[in-house]
Every structure is written in C-alpha cells, then in structure tokens.
Amino acid sequence: MLGGQASWDDIDAALDGQRELLEQFVRSQRVQTNEVRRAWGLLPALLSLDAPRVDLVELGASAGLLLALDRYDYRYRAGSWGNGADVLVLDGDDRGGPPADLLARGLDVGRRIGLDLDPVGLGEEGARLLEAFVWPDQRERIERLRHAIAVARTCDIDLRRGDYVEHLPAVLAERRDGALTVVFHSVSTMYLDDDRYAELVSVLTRSGADGPLAWLSFEGPRHDPDYGGVALDVTRWPGGATKRLAKVDFHAAWLEWAAR
C-alpha cells in the first residue's frame, strides 16, 4: 500500500499519517479497474469470428490487460485454450458452452490499440494504482492482476489517451487489409449517455460500411437493469448483423452460452 509507506495491517495509522497524500489522490485520480478475468468471457467471441488475423481496438482500455488476452491460458468445460505456459490461467462456471470446436480455433493478434481517457502504464506506479482499486481481501483477484501485468508487459500495446468516441474514427481509418479489425469494450459504454452511445454506434456503422469490421460488446443491455449480467454480443460487417453469444457475469465468474 502507498508504495511501501503504509500497511493494511495498521490502516488507522495510514489514514492519519498519509492524510494529505490520500486526500490529493481521491481528488485527482479517476477510478481505474482492469478486470482481466473478463478475457475468459471475451475469448470465445473473438474465436467465433474465425478470422486468420485480427487487430484489436479496446474502448476504455485502462492498462490494456485485455488486449493481451491471447497470451493467457483458459479452461472451459469443453476444453482448454492457450499456449500452456500457465502463467495466468482463467476459468469460471461455463454453462452450455463454448463448444469444443470453437476452442480448437487459433487466434493471431497483430495490433493492440487501447483508447482511454486516462490510460494506466504498466510500470511499477501503474501496477500499484491498479492494485489500489481491488479490495485488499480479494487475494485471488490481486494475484490474477499481478500475473496479467507480467504477461501484458511482454506485448506491444499502443495505449492512446482521449475520448474514445472522438478518437475511434481516426483509429479505424488505419485499418489494414491483412487483418480483421475488432473493436471491443467491457462494462465501459454503460457510462455513456444515450446520445453519446448513439454516436459510437454511428461511428461503427459508418466504418463497417467502408470495409470488414467486427464489434464485440460485453455490456449490460441498455435500459434493462434486471438483466442480471452482461450480454456478449458480436456485430460484424459486411452486413452489420448482431448475434448474442452469451450472458456473462460482470467479472466473468460464470457464462451462460446462448449461441447455436
């Protein structure tokens, strides 16, 4: 905690002794979480695209840990996926899928671009910041975060600062013919109001009309507070058809596969 200046073992002393620092922190620092377990829900959606090569664009990327999702290992009822390094193994309670034939597909990631209002670097300070937004008694989650940071540091992740609705058109203008560009987000667009969300959809629709594009949404359905999770939706152009693949827990502790 506080870069070794205080300890959870004596939180009262930390609050008293580091009062000025902590007050400045809460005034200036936006909440930044990067729940890497969501990759366990996102991976099957990426595999469903069956694209030889993909370029990833994440909206609300934080430190970009989900942009390294192809470097993690995964366990599902129907089988495993990954390189077998076992540095970080993600699993959960999957019900009814994803099917084994989907998990047999490979995933070749080219570019990894993340857009965020206040992206977090993967150095020591950034790592401490991400840990600061995890409850201290959630030891498994903290260890998962630390392993993900170690893996993501081996990737070439291009984090760009700014409003992703404004910056996305320029990013999509960089699309390459040799890869399918995949725009994705997880529990991010819920913070956009309806008008801003409509702008995002318009950007994607216009770009999809110009060439191949995929959009993966890991979000609670708008205006449906009783849904009880997030909907894993895939939209692909040409055509712009949307398919709901699964209903997933907000932190991907469970997944109910719906696709057939």
Same domain (yes/no): 104, 22: no
Same domain (yes/no): 16, 58: no
Same domain (yes/no): 153, 216: yes
Same domain (yes/no): 105, 188: yes
- For 7, 69, 155, 236, 253, the CA distances from 112, given in Å and listed in that order, are 36, 10, 8, 19, 25
Residue 112 burial class via C-beta count within 10 angstroms: exposed 0-12, middle 13-18, buried 19 and up? buried
pTM recorded for the entire structure: 0.90
Same domain (yes/no): 235, 108: yes
Same domain (yes/no): 24, 69: no
Same domain (yes/no): 4, 99: no
Same domain (yes/no): 16, 62: no
* Beta-strand relationship, 230-237 and 213-219: antiparallel
| Domains in the chain, number | 2
Q: Answer positive or negative: Cα dihedral of 63, 66, 72, 74.
A: positive
H or E stretch including 112?
strand 109-116
Residue with tokens 């990833």: 56
Same domain (yes/no): 102, 177: yes
Same domain (yes/no): 187, 244: yes
103 closest CA partner among 40, 56, 37: 40
Instruction: Please list the helix, strand and coil fractions of the chain in percent, rounded to the nearest 5, in that order.
Output: 35, 25, 40
Domain range for 226: 35-257
pLDDT tens for the chain, 260 residues long, are 445 666 666 667 767 677 676 666 666 667 677 899 999 999 999 999 999 999 999 999 999 999 999 999 999 999 999 988 888 999 999 999 899 999 999 999 999 999 999 999 999 989 988 988 888 888 999 999 999 999 999 999 999 999 999 999 999 999 999 999 999 999 999 999 999 999 999 999 999 999 999 999 999 999 898 999 999 999 999 999 999 999 999 999 999 999 66
Same domain (yes/no): 112, 220: yes
CATH for 109: 3.40.50
Same domain (yes/no): 211, 245: yes
